[in-house]
Structure 1
Amino acid sequence: MEYAYNIYDERCPTRQVLDRLADKWALLILDRLRSGPVRFNQLRRDIQGISQKVLSQTLKKLERDGLVSRKAFATVPVTVEYALTPLGVSLIETVSTLAHWAERHMDAVLAAQQSYDEATAT
């Protein structure tokens, strides 16, 4: 199949999208949003280990890429909610598969790492 873009070309803009999707925080945010809109602070609580700054930066990048929408509510303080856009929804099956693959196969990965470390230690 032929596409207008070539991911193997170092100047191809698809590299920026792949870079974003290869980010663990982006994957976790997108996967968390698959069940519906979520407020900023709820995302922060749900995705343990992410700082407020990194969450904010990642959400802005995902919004710029058209994968996430941001909705502000006129409350005091302002309440902000994030949701997947139709483009983001088109990606969620792939994101979810990749994110949860790690959960399902972690024991095998850990065993492989231990085996490799033992073999290369001598």
Structure 2
Amino acid sequence: MSKKLLTGIVLGSVATAASWALLPKAKRQELQTQANSKLNDIADYVTDYALTALDIVDERLAEMDNAGVTDRIKAAGQKVKDKKDQVVDHLANDDFDEQTAAIREKLANANSTADQDDDIVIDATADDNNEE
């Protein structure tokens, strides 16, 4: 399929170039003028559309500012910054060696004082005898 597409593009380009070369100079100039006119019209339309879209966005942003959205976004940003500072302070200044040693000590004490006979036993035969 790609060979057919490439062949079509090449043949179309050759036919267009040949027909352009065979046109009289006045006709070529007229076609160029028409094409430039159409391109300018399209560029004007796109520019007008973009400016209209920008005006709509500006109006919406002004409405949002009046509703206090900007202040709420700034407040949320400040909360995130404060939380980040808190986490960084915790990671930078806390002594994790002491905390780890305390946890290890609690675990060691828990294992030494726990009864070894606290196993859970599930006996299904007791239920079978009660059902009869």
Q: Shorter-chain TM-score: which interval?
A: under 0.3
User: Larger C-alpha radius of gyration, 1 or 2?
Assistant: 2
Structure with greater helix percent: 2
Question: Taking structure 2 as the reference length, what is the TM-score of the superposition?
Answer: 0.24
Report 1 or 2 for greater relative contact order, CA contacts < 8 Å, sequence distance ≥ 6: 1
